[in-house]
Amino acid sequence: MLELTTGHSTNCEGMTRRDLVRVGGLGVFGLSLPALLRAQRATADQSQIKNRKSEINCIVLWMDGGPSHLDTFAPKPNAPTEIRGPMGVVSTNVPGVQISEWLPQLAQVMDKYSIIRSLTSPNGSHGPANHYMMTGYNFTPVVNYPSYGAVLSRERGLMNNGLPTYAAIGNNPFRQGFGTPAGYMGTQYNPFGVGGDPAAANFSVRDVSPASGTSFDRVERRKGMLDAVDRFQRDVETRQDAVKAVDKFYESAFSLVTSPGAKKAFNLKDEQDSLRDRYGRNTFGQSCLLARRLIESGVRFVTVTRNGWDTHTNNFVTLKNTRLPEIDQGYSALLTDLDQRGMLDSTIVIWMGEFGRTPKINTSAGRDHWPYSTVVTIGGGGLKRGVVVGDSDETAAYPSDKPYRIEDLAATIYHALGIDTEKEYLAPDNRPLKVNYDGKPMVELI
């Protein structure tokens, strides 16, 4: 539950301010709504920047566990069966480009995204690799580097159009013990966590809906009770400036909880059934639709996580029956929807996981971790579409053409977002650290 925790002064009946108001629930990644609102005020002077290329947004479709590059966007149809597996290929609407036959809808919209086939990394462990892909910095226990969304929040401001700049749908892409989305910047830059399943009939969002069983009229009554306690306190004690400031944050919290704009942004029932069907009536598909609605309403950076890509066993059964049909439908619908609404030019859409998978199929009909060759798709937000960047060798084991590092991917993302990669922030020990270290934007995409 989200509670008032600004002190424990009581009224004449012994009730604390905490007892009086509970306005919903939030607790993902350590970020609460009041903390977000405090941070908004504390960092207001950082919300303006010189480079206004910058109304560029970003959606990251995070495939947690590491998707197979061979079985998605970098197939090797001429490789031996023990490499290519049972899957065939399908031609895309970009001449000469083929992808997995299990992605037929994405094949027909390849003019809306590009494929990076020559990305390579030395890191094949889930936690460190997640951190690396989401920050552009290889993991070290010494420094917790911030994610792309956290940097964007710091550069653009924590709130936009009454909504958080950075939001996460689904699980945290950062694994426990291997950093946090905010990194050394502090918890105020963690994303607003959208709880629940967007595909569920009773889906609601923590902190945008009241606690279960609590009507908005009741919220307003509780707010009135809080105001009465505040008046009581003003009569019996000298109120410090900090306490007055806290009241402003909670006033903003009430405004967001009861905001028609916020409720509308999260209300998937406003969409036509035909569009919801096009995205797919499953968690991933409806999460993609929700991501579009959030971007449309003012959120600037959204992650959508789909778990279950760590396919050490039964790789092909899993991909063919569940993972790839969902991705094919939801991802293609998102690209088409954004494009039809005129939003793709201002929204980068990235599909990626922490690494690729072994070229050779193991004895359990699975593929194991393989960071040395992986694939990422990216497009929109001013980046070129319908381009294939680089390639891997005949078994998709290592890049054979135009090898790029994770640092280069990060530099490309920051370039598209209009963020100066040479800019420095101070770590907790006052060391200056660049937004991106040594990365170069991919010339094929910019």
| CA–CA distance, 370 with 87 (Å, rounded to integer) | 19
Least confident segment among 25-34, 102-111, 256-265, 284-293: 25-34
pLDDT of 246 reads: 43
- Would you state the torsion angle of the CA atoms of residues 379, 62, 416, 56, taken in this order, to the nearest 10 degrees? 90
Looking at residue 6, what is its pLDDT? 34
Nearest to 142 by CA among 130, 126, 131, 153: 131
pLDDT tens, residue by residue, 131-183: 999 999 999 999 999 999 999 999 999 888 888 999 999 998 999 999 999 99
Residue 440 pLDDT more than 60? yes
Does residue 317 sit in helix, strand or coil?
Answer: helix
pLDDT tens-place string over residues 100-123: 999 999 999 999 999 999 999 999
User: If pLDDT is split at 50, 70 and 90, which confidence band does 18 have?
Assistant: very low
What are the C-alpha distances in Å from 163 to residues 35, 49, 194, 301, 371? 14, 19, 12, 11, 36
Question: Above pLDDT 90, what percent of the chain?
Answer: 69
| DSSP conformational letter for 167 | E
Q: Identify the pLDDT of residue 244.
A: 46
So what's the pLDDT on residue 160? 85
**Residue, of 85 and 259, whose pLDDT is higher:** 85
pLDDT in tens, 382-415: 999 999 999 999 999 999 999 999 999 999 999 9
Smallest Cα–Cα separation from 39: which of 29, 27, 47?
47
Closest CA to 133 of 438, 350, 410, 428: 410
Average pLDDT of the chain, as a whole number: 84
Task: Tell me the two tokens of residue 357.
Answer: 């998978």
The 8-class DSSP code of residue 31 comes to B
CB neighbours of 215 closer than 8 A, spacing ≥ 6? none
SS3 434: strand
Q: Which residues of 407-439 are buried (b: 16+ CB within 10 A; e: fewer)?
A: bbbbbbbbbbbbbebebeeebeeeeebebbeeb
pLDDT the model gives residue 259: 56
CA distance 137 to 152: 16
CB 123 within 8 A of CB 371: yes
Taking Cα atoms as reference points, which of 124, 142, 151 lies closest to residue 65?
124
Q: Nearest Cα to 135, choosing from 445, 431, 421?
A: 421
Q: How far apart are CA 378 and CA 351, in angstroms?
A: 6
Taking only Cα atoms into account, the Rg of the chain, rounded to an integer number of angstroms, comes to 23
pLDDT at 368 (0 to 100) = 98
Structure tokens at 122: 């030395």
Asked if residue 54 lies in contact with residue 33, where contact means CB atoms within 8 angstroms, the answer is no
Q: What does the pLDDT average to over 91-102?
A: 98
> For 240-250, what is the mean pLDDT?
45
> Which residues touch 211 (CB under 8 Å, ≥6 apart)?
1, 22, 23, 24, 25
* Position with higher pLDDT, 292 vs 219: 292
Question: What pTM was estimated for this model as a whole?
Answer: 0.82
pLDDT at 137: 97
Grade residue 96 by pLDDT with cuts at 50, 70 and 90.
very high
Q: What whole-number percentage of the chain has pLDDT above 70?
A: 75
The terminus-to-terminus CA distance of the chain in angstroms comes to 45
437 closest CA partner among 417, 416, 427, 423:
423
1 vs 124: CA distance, rounded Å: 37
Tokens 């994770």 belong to: 406
Compute the average pLDDT of residues 308-317: 97
Q: What is the pLDDT of residue 224?
A: 53
Where does the pLDDT of residue 245 fall: very low under 50, low under 70, confident under 90, or very high at 90 and above? very low
**Stretch among 140-144, 161-165, 334-338, 438-442 having the lowest mean pLDDT:** 161-165
| Mean local confidence (pLDDT), 290-299 | 95
Neighbours of 7 (CB within 10 A): 13
Domains of the chain, each with CATH number or no CATH = 31-208+259-434 (3.40.720)
Query: Which has more pLDDT, 251 or 2?
Result: 251
Q: Is the dihedral of CA 44, 48, 54, 55 positive or negative?
A: positive
Residue from 337, 189, 322 nearest 271 by CA = 337
pLDDT tens figures, 176-231: 999 999 999 999 999 999 988 999 998 887 665 544 444 445 544 544 544 554 55
The pLDDT tens digits of the residues spanning 27-48 come to 434 455 555 555 555 554 444 4
pLDDT of 252 reads 39
Give the other-Cβ count within 10 Å of 303's Cβ.
27
Which range has the top average pLDDT, 156-160, 241-245, 249-253, 344-348? 344-348
CA distance 31 to 158: 12
How many Å apart are CA 390 and CA 383, to the nearest integer? Answer: 16
